[in-house]
Structure formats: structure tokens, C-alpha cells
A = this chain, B = another copy of it.
Amino acid sequence: MTEPTHEQVDQLTRAFERFTRRFKVAESAAAADNALNALDAEALVFVGDNPGCGVGEVARYLNVAMTTMSSAVDRLTRRRLIERRRTEDDRRSLALTVTDKGRQAIDDHIAAYRELCRVMLRSLDPREQAELIRLTEKIAGS
């Protein structure tokens, strides 16, 4: 809760700009032809983590309009990455689940993300690696 100095904020801002640029370039280079757009990828991961969830749940979680998520689910369904099924208890809603192909896509997605994290950590020595993890967790958690 200690207020950082103006100078520190400035340093971190500049460092983050370079940081972001470095890994954005790496990411766009890795993007395959059959890659999903950002929303579809996030929706797919959410469905993987929450099997049986509905379209509205995903929309609320990702902060997009219901119709936008309906479109995304449609794209994912057409590509056979997820499946829609009417539920017994509420026949208005759909239960979304990932297919085997969808699970594979998620694994690939996570692998790419992990690789990015691995590259970051490799720039540091062991003590710093542990410290970066700790600090990131602290910031993310509070």
C-alpha cells in the first residue's frame, strides 16, 4: 500500500511498453492460420474450465454483449471445438462443452502461453525467477 514515487511509475511505464512490445511481436509471429481470435479463444478456455455453462455466463464473464457471445459460440461450434446441448432442467438454456478437438486447441493455446512465460523467466537468474512469480501473484491477487 506504499505510494510509489512519480519516478518509479515512470520507469515501470517505460519498461512495460518495451516489455509489451517485445512479447506482442513474438505472439503475432507465432499466430497460426487456423488461430482463433482473442474472444473465441477466451470463450473456449472458459467453457473448458466450466463445462455445462451457458452462453450468457460466458458473455458476462468476458464482458461482451450476449449477441456477441452467441456469434462466438456459433463460430466455435461450426469449427467443432465446442458442442451445444439443450439442458433438461431449463430448456431455454444451452450446456456448452468442449469437444476433443476443442480440448486439443486449448492445450495448444496454453502451451503457447506457457512458452511465453518460460521465455520471460529465462531472462532471470533463479532468485529473480522466484521473486517475479511472487510479485506477480501479489499484484494479481490484491
Contact = CB atoms under 8 A, between A and B. Distances in A.
Contact of A10 (B28, B114, B126): B114
A15 B120 contact: no
Contact of A123 (B9, B132, B139): B139
A19 to B, nearest CB: 4
Contacts of A128: 135, 138
Q: Secondary structure of the A side of the interface?
A: helix
A25 interface: yes
Contact of A120 (B25, B124, B139): B139
Interface of A: 1-4, 8-13, 15-19, 22, 25, 28, 63, 110, 113-114, 117-118, 120-126, 128-133, 135-142
